[in-house]
């Protein structure tokens, strides 16, 4: 089974996330927080509480986590309506892998409902067997990778992600990692480096996964 990280691997929604959080904060507090896509992208891959710690560290802990929960809910609806930007070659390549009979899933550290918003907004349901997220399971990425593999009877797996925490989680889960080099971060110990998403089928063949 090929399991994908979402942000920085399949798409970039940082512009839309920043827009949605600014709208919610304006509505709730009456001022412009001025969050940017760069603020969001540097936090991609973290749990939502860790993102709140970074973006709202000037607020008391209880207040900033409560604000993050409100932002999450509003964000899911906003993303469902507005979508994000798929990286080049993603849909075509996923279609090729699906046609080749490769089972695929998404595992992200996002809030509950965010992966569904991605699948809905970009019409991606047809490509994936399953998904899991921190906000739904309460588990961190390594455990969610194992959970998805077990749930789908996958005897082997490989994880595709863009930051070091993705590789750490994959290896903790006992699977190799492909670094999506075009994404938001760096990985020092990936088993392979993906420069262009369209190269993924050939890379999977070389690694013995097709």
- DSSP readout, 43-100? TTTS-HHHHHHHHSTTS-HHHHHHHHHHHHHHHHHHHHHH--EEPTTHHHHHHHHHHT
pLDDT digits (tens, 9 = 90+) for 57-70: 999 999 999 999 99
Q: What is the DSSP letter of 87?
A: P
**Mean pLDDT throughout 31-49?**
88
Give helix then strand counts, H and E, for the chain: 10, 8
pLDDT digits (tens, 9 = 90+) for 95-129: 999 999 999 999 999 889 999 999 999 999 999 99
Q: What is the DSSP letter of 92?
A: H
d(CA 197, CA 181): 10
Spatial CB neighbours of 97, under 8 Å, sequence gap ≥ 6? 2, 104, 127, 200, 201, 204, 210
**Mean pLDDT throughout 66-94?**
96
pLDDT digits (tens, 9 = 90+) for 140-171: 999 999 999 999 999 999 999 999 999 999 99
Q: What does the pLDDT read at residue 133?
A: 95
Query: What integer best gives the mean pLDDT of the chain?
Result: 95
pLDDT over 80 at 45, yes or no: no
pTM to 2 decimal places: 0.92
The sheet carrying 158-161 orders its strands as 130-133, 104-108, 2-4, 158-161, 177-180, 192-194
pLDDT digits (tens, 9 = 90+) for 174-198: 999 999 999 999 999 999 999 999 9
What is the Cα 117 distance to its own chain's centre? 12
């Amino acid at each position: 089974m090929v399991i994908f990280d979402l942000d920085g691997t399949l798409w970039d929604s940082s512009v839309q996330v920043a827009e949605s959080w600014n709208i919610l904060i304006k509505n709730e507090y009456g001022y412009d927080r001025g969050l940017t896509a760069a603020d969001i992208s540097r936090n991609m891959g973290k749990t939502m509480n860790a993102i709140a710690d970074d973006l709202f560290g000037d607020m008391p802990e209880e207040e900033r986590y409560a604000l993050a929960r409100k932002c999450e809910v509003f964000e899911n609806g906003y993303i469902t309506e507005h979508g994000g930007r798929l990286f080049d070659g993603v849909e075509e390549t996923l279609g090729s892998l699906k046609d080749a009979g490769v089972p695929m899933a998404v595992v992200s550290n996002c809030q509950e409902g965010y992966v569904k918003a991605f699948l809905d907004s970009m019409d991606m349901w047809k490509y994936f067997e399953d998904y899991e997220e921190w906000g739904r399971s309460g588990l961190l990425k390594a455990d969610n990778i194992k959970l998805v593999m077990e749930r789908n009877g996958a005897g082997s797996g490989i994880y595709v992600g863009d930051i070091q925490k993705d590789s750490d989680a994959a290896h903790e889960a006992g699977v190799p990692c492909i670094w999506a080099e075009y994404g938001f971060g760096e990985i020092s110990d990936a088993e392979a480096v993906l420069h262009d998403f369209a190269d993924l089928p050939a890379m999977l063949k070389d690694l013995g996964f097709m």
